Amino acid sequence: MPLAASIEFPRADVDALFRQIDRNQKQLGQSLKASVMRAAIYVAKSLSASTKIAPKLRPIVENPDKRYKTDHRRAPFGVMRYNPDGTQYFKPIYRTGEYGKLRFFDKKSVSWFKRDRTTGAGHWEKLPSGPDIANPDIFVPGIMTDKRRKIGRRGLAKKAWTWAAMNMWKGGRATLFGMIDLMGVRVFNHIDNPGVQITNRLRYATDAFKGGMNAPERALGNAARKLEYNLTQQIAKRMGAK
């Protein structure tokens, strides 16, 4: 049963999972294919549970180009975005440093105020501001609700594994959050050697695991233990045990 070609699982956990597959056959009378599919569902669910969800907002960071300190046409703050190849780049948010704007910070109200040249010398406008939730060390004006901070595909990594668990029996390919052919489940219906292959094409799938690269290994062990527990409960119920 190829679980995931890009993830190498510990042999002990693989053996533990296959013991439960054998147990499901012998003690519950289910076919080898049904036993394999049941185990694969537990693995996909465990991988989903081991995957973290990104925060709703990107943290505010200082512009790595220090020329902003002398050139006020450059934004002093912004967010880090990712290119398709996984490299990061700085996305400026100019509302914090437009050329020609006047600002001051009022300590009593803990707020920033701005004045445009067109509004007159006596008119100050309060800016939505405060400490950044994603990065509390940075306190900047007028940037907290900027749309560039929102993570549009938040939760995609977890949803991908969940889709695999829900579509294990029928197989197929998934388009999630507009990403075509992101996930794939291929079912092998051989009588003597049935199997299922789960393919996750999300670039950062392994990076999204809680606890780093060891998380997939623990996920397989957790799947084997949960399957063992549920099999024990189901067998005991069949035998009339309380």
Q: Splitting the chain (242 residues) into consecutive groups of 10 residues, what average pLDDT does each group show?
A: 54 91 93 94 94 88 86 81 84 61 58 62 64 51 74 90 94 90 91 89 86 77 94 89 54
pLDDT of the residue at 242: 52
pLDDT, position 156: 93
Query: Model pTM?
Result: 0.70
Task: Transcribe the chain into DSSP letters.
Answer: ----TT-PPPHHHHHHHHHHHHHHHHHH---HHHHHHHHHHHHHHHHHHTB----SBPPPEE-S-GGGGT-TTS-SEEEEEE-TTS-EEEEE-GGG--TT-EEEEETTTTEEEEE-TTT-TT--EEE-EEE-SS-TT-EEES-TT-GGGB-TTTTHHHHHHHHHHHTTTT-EEEEETTEEEEEEEEEE--SSS-EEEEEE--TTTTTTBTTGGGHHHHHHHHHHHHHHHHHHHHHHHHTT--
Distances in Å between the alpha carbon of 165 and those of 12, 40, 118, 162, 200? Answer: 23, 8, 59, 5, 12
Sign of CA dihedral 40, 170, 155, 183: positive
Which structure tokens are listed for 166? 């829900």
What is the rounded distance in angstroms from the CA atom of residue 36 to the CA atom of residue 32? 6
In this prediction, residue 5 carries a pLDDT of 38
